[in-house]
Chain A
Amino acid sequence: MGDQSWDPTTRATVQKIPLLTVKAGPRDKEEWQKRLKEELQALIKYIEINKAGDLDWFTIKPSNKEGTHWSGKCWYVHDLIKYEFDFQFDIPATYPATAPEIELPELEGKTAKMYRGGKICLTIHFKPLWAKNSPHFGIAHALCLGLAPWLAAEVPFLVESGAVKAKA
């Protein structure tokens, strides 16, 4: 984590998120449960950190009881206007070696920094970092290092280009 690709706040925040210990994907029945617990704990911690720092920027919950599909809302305040988007992702089978691919379906086709299906393009630094820290990084880390920077980078651009309008 010695690279300079994230802003200092993000890096400081990431360091506060507890690292995960269980290396298990959705295919591992028992271990996944443990992993899921750790994921949840990390998320709770992250959210608490955010709330304490008035940096709250998303809500999230697992959409199925296995905990392999997650959805929630994320928002970004630009020019005192709050832009809110739905996001979702699946836990890949190779998780935690592979990072989850976060989708913002609303914004599909509105920006170049996005793959088909509304998956966001993460920075080139994300994957090596994730690989390096696997299996210690979890969903919370992915949100913190993936979605948050992406929103910060793309929303102002989207707003200025007129692709996104504030919800009245």
Chain B
Amino acid sequence: MADLSLENLLSGLEAAQQKKSKTRLSERNVVELVAKLKALGLLGEELLYTTNGKEYVTRERAVAEVKAAVRAAGGRIPLVDLPSQLGLDLVHCERAADAVVAASGGAITLSQGELFSTAYFDGLAAEVDDSLQEAGVVSVGDLARRFGLGAEMIGSVLSERVASGAVRGRMEAGVVYTQAYLARIKAQLRGALRGAVSPVPIPALVKELGIEGLASLNALVPTLIEDLTAEGSVAGKLVAGAASWVPASYVASQQDAVKRFFQQNGYIGYDTAKQYGIPAPKQFLAQHFPDGIALDSAFVSPAVVDQVEATVEEAMAGGGWCDVAPHVPSILSLGDTAALLAKCKAVAAASSGGQAQVLSGTCVVAAAMLEGIKQQLLEAARAAADEAHKAKKARGGGGGGAAAAAAAKAAAAAEASSKKAAAAADSGSDDDWDMGGKKGKKGKSGGKKGKGGGGGKAAKGGGGSSGGKAAGIQAAAAELGSSSSVLSMDSLAQRVIELHPDTEGAGADGDLPSAIASELRPPVVAEYERALHAIFTAGAEKRRRLREAAAAALDAAYERLQLYAHGAELFASDEAASATLQRHLLRGAAAECADALLRYLAADDEEAQGAGGGAEGGAPLGDAAGGALLPAQRSTVLKHLGPDVKGAATSMVDKLNGGSVEAFQAELEAAAEAAGLRLRRLDKKAERSLVFAQRKAWEAAATAAADPSALLALAVPLLLARQHGRLVSLPGRALGAGLEALRSGPGALPEEACQLLSDFHAAVVEQLKLQSGGGGAEEADELARQLEELMPRIRALAVGGGEAAGDA
């Protein structure tokens, strides 16, 4: 150093300072600098970052690197490998790869995330060619697996190479094979097909050939077979969508078999034909036997029809029946048998001419036989109608609204056959009955309207009787349904069997009897219906009259009951007299009411009437206006009543023996309601007019009365009626209480009149005592004379009123 001159050193210093300073920017600064440059637009958008963040890469550079990477990797590189190799983000790699592909003009392709160069495919094709020449066949699928490529892609690549000859072979349906290989397969096929005597399923054949794994070669097999057939190397055909091979010899033998069977048996089932391997037996048979008959399940020769026809004719001639089922091939279905029958000329002629009927599918029954059975059944139906009517009467179901309810119930519970019967009953009933029904309805509605009106009574009566009639019809219909013993299908079928035992079990399902029964049932049911109606009509008029009379009697009795009950209230304060009066009323007017109602209820029931009439000493039930019934008669009637009125009626009758008129009235009303009647309560006006009428009647009676006791019994109620405006029915024992009542209260009789009455009462009592006790004649005479004196005065008092009494 020391030898360096000062000048040198100075210039050295200069030089050192002139030297460009090595830029040592911090990373941070550089990043900023680059950012600044980008912001200024000097670098453009081309700059990419490496994944480690240490470098910037331009796009051009990235493209170049991708290209280099493809080359380095031997022409194939997955895109996902690029980021790690280039240190660039996958996105940038992809973009670069796209640019490379675009720029390469086809030399480099991007497929399924990998970059391929043409060179790579060439190499691949060469490799494939090698293995192909060695094995004779390679499947594209295998290759795709081997090279890790998509089958489609490798397929397209190979088809290109095959076309250009780089791969020597044929490519078809995903398989590349050599001509030699194809020839071998074909030869194998020829051998196998020639050897086949029965249908060979193609899959089995393929398996034999050892190419079952190669789906695409399998697909070739039908083509090859067709080739072979076309060139005449093998005889036969592919059937069922090329799924099996049927040798010609097999087809011939099969058809022979079918024909033989048909010729021998006169029929052949399609099933059988199918078993022989005829795919469309119907067409096949129709083609080979044009005169045969094609049925649904079998093909039949005309000979069978002839046979059936002969059988039928025979049966027709004998007026009997025949089942054709035994005469046709057993394999025929019911429908087929029926169809066969339809084809028989004799049968067709007979049924259209009404000489026979085909029943139960396979049975031909002569009209003569049917007619015979029908007559028998009609007879039975008439008998059944008689019985049914009797049974109905026995059940007491014919009376009034009660029966209607019962009938409705029965109808609801009836089975399907009974519905049919009811329908038949409706349609079968003649006009009279329809009218009756309508009248009944009208009557009912009229009865409702008549509430409180003057015409209520008549309307009620009409409604009651015709309602009962309508109910009777319903009951009859229900009877039809429930009389299963006579008119049900089963019993009819049973009858048929009894008449013709040979029909049992005949027919398609052994149901010939039921078929005959169902054929004949409508007329039989109609007959039954008609008979029932006839019987019913006979008794109806009488019943209606009875009912009306009974209802009128009931109304009258009820009025009386109400009047007397009202009058009895006068004695409410006198307990003993009140009880006596109540009992008296219950025995008299109340009993009349009960009897009238019972008569009404029993009107429909002849048996009950008969029972009632049979009882000794009682008034006959049939006579509505007749006298009181005996307790025995009442209980008989009650026994025959329908269940819905029975309870109410029974408790009503029970109350007769009680002590309270009011309780009886309540029960009576309940019973009447149950029977479909409506009792009319008296209003004031009606009561007054009735009281007046009764008074007049009593006055007339009093004027005519010769017996002092009778006169007294009339005079006291008459005076009471005049005084209180109420009617009182006084038993002899209560006359004293009656006198007391006359003496007190508003408008009481003058004392003299009362004294006169009580004297007369005492005299009458005395006389009665004497008569019963058998006392002295003198005393009797004395009393008679005394009474004789008093009677005109009393009569004047009773008839003339209070003023007359004063004069007497």
User: Interface of A with B (CB < 8 Å)?
Assistant: 33-34, 36-37, 40-41, 43-44, 47-48, 50-56, 59-62, 67
Given contacts A40-B13, A44-B16, A61-B14, contact A50 B6 (CB under 8 A): no
Chain B interface, number of residues (Cβ within 8 angstroms): 18
Contact for B25 among A54, A60, A67, CB less than 8 A: A54
What are 20 A-B residue pairs whose CB atoms fall within 8 Å in the complex?
Answer: A33-B6, A34-B2, A37-B1, A37-B2, A37-B6, A40-B9, A40-B10, A41-B1, A41-B12, A43-B13, A44-B12, A47-B16, A48-B16, A52-B22, A53-B24, A54-B22, A59-B17, A60-B13, A61-B13, A67-B6
User: Is B684 an interface position by the 8 A CB rule?
Assistant: no
Q: Is the CB of A47 within 8 A of B13?
A: yes
Q: With a CB–CB cut-off of 8 A, which chain A residues contact B1? A: 37, 41
User: Is B19 an interface position by the 8 A CB rule?
Assistant: yes
Q: Is the CB of A54 within 8 A of B12?
A: no
What's the Cα separation between A34 and B22 when bound, in Å? 31
Instruction: Please name 18 further chain A to chain B contacts, defined as beta carbons within 8 Å, in addition to the given A54-B25, A61-B10, sorted by A numbering.
Output: A33-B6, A37-B4, A37-B9, A40-B9, A40-B12, A41-B1, A44-B16, A47-B17, A48-B16, A51-B16, A51-B20, A53-B22, A54-B22, A56-B21, A59-B17, A61-B13, A61-B17, A62-B10
User: Is B112 an interface position by the 8 A CB rule?
Assistant: no
User: Is B23 an interface position by the 8 A CB rule?
Assistant: yes
Q: Is the CB of A41 within 8 A of B25?
A: no
Given contacts A37-B2, A37-B4, contact A44 B23 (CB under 8 A): no
Residue of B nearest to A18 (CB): B1
Contact for B9 among A41, A51, A54, CB less than 8 A: A41
Which of A33, A40, A43, A61: most chain B Cβ within 10 A? A40
Q: With a CB–CB cut-off of 8 A, which chain A residues contact B22? A: 51-54
Q: With a CB–CB cut-off of 8 A, which chain B residues contact A43? A: 13, 16
B1-47 contacts to A, CB under 8 A, are: 1-2, 4, 6, 9-10, 12-14, 16-17, 19-25
What's the Cα separation between A168 and B262 when bound, in Å? 122
Residue of A nearest to B29 (CB): A80
Q: Is the CB of A54 within 8 A of B13?
A: no
What's the Cα separation between A33 and B20 when bound, in Å? 29
B3: min CB distance to chain A, Å: 10
Residue of B nearest to A48 (CB): B16
A110: min CB distance to chain B, Å: 27
Q: With a CB–CB cut-off of 8 A, which chain B residues contact A67? A: 6
Q: With a CB–CB cut-off of 8 A, which chain A residues contact B16? A: 43-44, 47-48, 51
Residue of A nearest to B18 (CB): A59
B768: min CB distance to chain A, Å: 158
Residue of B nearest to A67 (CB): B6
Q: With a CB–CB cut-off of 8 A, which chain B residues contact A59? A: 17
Contact for A54 among B10, B14, B21, CB less than 8 A: B21
A86: min CB distance to chain B, Å: 15
User: Interface of B with A (CB < 8 Å)?
Assistant: 1-2, 4, 6, 9-10, 12-14, 16-17, 19-25
B723: min CB distance to chain A, Å: 143
What's the Cα separation between A38 and B763 when bound, in Å? 194
Q: With a CB–CB cut-off of 8 A, which chain B residues contact A53? A: 22, 24
Q: With a CB–CB cut-off of 8 A, which chain A residues contact B25? A: 54
What's the Cα separation between A65 and B261 when bound, in Å? 143
What's the Cα separation between A33 and B8 when bound, in Å? 13
Residue of A nearest to B20 (CB): A51
Q: Is the CB of B12 within 8 A of A55?
A: no
What's the Cα separation between A12 and B20 when bound, in Å? 22
Q: With a CB–CB cut-off of 8 A, which chain B residues contact A48? A: 16, 19
What's the Cα separation between A41 and B8 when bound, in Å? 10
A16: min CB distance to chain B, Å: 14
Contact for A44 among B2, B9, B20, B24, CB less than 8 A: B9
Q: With a CB–CB cut-off of 8 A, which chain A residues contact B21? A: 50-51, 54, 56
What's the Cα separation between A55 and B2 when bound, in Å? 28
Residue of B nearest to A59 (CB): B17
What's the Cα separation between A51 and B13 when bound, in Å? 13
Which of B14, B17, B21, B25: most chain A Cβ within 10 A? B17
A14: min CB distance to chain B, Å: 18
Residue of B nearest to A46 (CB): B16
Residue of A nearest to B9 (CB): A40
Residue of B nearest to A62 (CB): B10
Residue of B nearest to A50 (CB): B21
What's the Cα separation between A61 and B4 when bound, in Å? 17
Residue of A nearest to B12 (CB): A44
Q: With a CB–CB cut-off of 8 A, which chain A residues contact B14? A: 61
A37: min CB distance to chain B, Å: 6
B172: min CB distance to chain A, Å: 72
What's the Cα separation between A127 and B14 when bound, in Å? 29
Counting from the closest, the 3 A-B pairs by CB-CB distance are A54-B24, A40-B9, A56-B21
Q: With a CB–CB cut-off of 8 A, which chain B residues contact A36? A: 6
What's the Cα separation between A62 and B10 when bound, in Å? 9
Q: With a CB–CB cut-off of 8 A, which chain A residues contact B17? A: 47, 59-61
A80: min CB distance to chain B, Å: 8
What's the Cα separation between A41 and B13 when bound, in Å? 8
Q: Is the CB of B4 within 8 A of A54?
A: no
Q: With a CB–CB cut-off of 8 A, which chain B residues contact A55? A: 24
Q: With a CB–CB cut-off of 8 A, which chain A residues contact B9? A: 37, 40-41, 44
B16: min CB distance to chain A, Å: 4
A145: min CB distance to chain B, Å: 19
Q: Is the CB of B4 within 8 A of A51?
A: no
Residue of B nearest to A52 (CB): B22
B224: min CB distance to chain A, Å: 82
Q: With a CB–CB cut-off of 8 A, which chain B residues contact A33? A: 6
Q: Is the CB of A54 within 8 A of B6?
A: no
Q: With a CB–CB cut-off of 8 A, which chain B residues contact A40? A: 6, 9-10, 12-13
Q: With a CB–CB cut-off of 8 A, which chain A residues contact B10? A: 40, 61-62
What's the Cα separation between A60 and B14 when bound, in Å? 8
What's the Cα separation between A59 and B17 when bound, in Å? 6
B360: min CB distance to chain A, Å: 117
What's the Cα separation between A43 and B22 when bound, in Å? 17
A104: min CB distance to chain B, Å: 19
A114: min CB distance to chain B, Å: 26
Residue of B nearest to A45 (CB): B16
What's the Cα separation between A62 and B12 when bound, in Å? 13
Q: With a CB–CB cut-off of 8 A, which chain B residues contact A62? A: 10
Q: With a CB–CB cut-off of 8 A, which chain A residues contact B6? A: 33, 36-37, 40, 67
What's the Cα separation between A147 and B700 when bound, in Å? 171
Q: With a CB–CB cut-off of 8 A, which chain A residues contact B24? A: 53-55
Q: With a CB–CB cut-off of 8 A, which chain A residues contact B19? A: 48, 51
What's the Cα separation between A56 and B9 when bound, in Å? 19
Residue of A nearest to B14 (CB): A61
Q: With a CB–CB cut-off of 8 A, which chain A residues contact B2? A: 34, 37
Q: With a CB–CB cut-off of 8 A, which chain B residues contact A37? A: 1-2, 4, 6, 9
A139: min CB distance to chain B, Å: 11
Residue of B nearest to A54 (CB): B24
B34: min CB distance to chain A, Å: 14
Residue of B nearest to A44 (CB): B16
B421: min CB distance to chain A, Å: 118
A36: min CB distance to chain B, Å: 6
Residue of B nearest to A56 (CB): B21
What's the Cα separation between A52 and B22 when bound, in Å? 6
A54: min CB distance to chain B, Å: 3
B580: min CB distance to chain A, Å: 142
What's the Cα separation between A67 and B20 when bound, in Å? 25
Q: Is the CB of B4 within 8 A of A44?
A: no
Q: With a CB–CB cut-off of 8 A, which chain B residues contact A34? A: 2
What's the Cα separation between A48 and B24 when bound, in Å? 14
Q: With a CB–CB cut-off of 8 A, which chain B residues contact A54? A: 21-25
Residue of A nearest to B33 (CB): A80
What's the Cα separation between A50 and B16 when bound, in Å? 10
What's the Cα separation between A59 and B22 when bound, in Å? 15
Residue of B nearest to A53 (CB): B24
What's the Cα separation between A55 and B25 when bound, in Å? 10
Which of A44, A59, A62: most chain B Cβ within 10 A? A44
B319: min CB distance to chain A, Å: 134
Q: With a CB–CB cut-off of 8 A, which chain B residues contact A61? A: 10, 13-14, 17
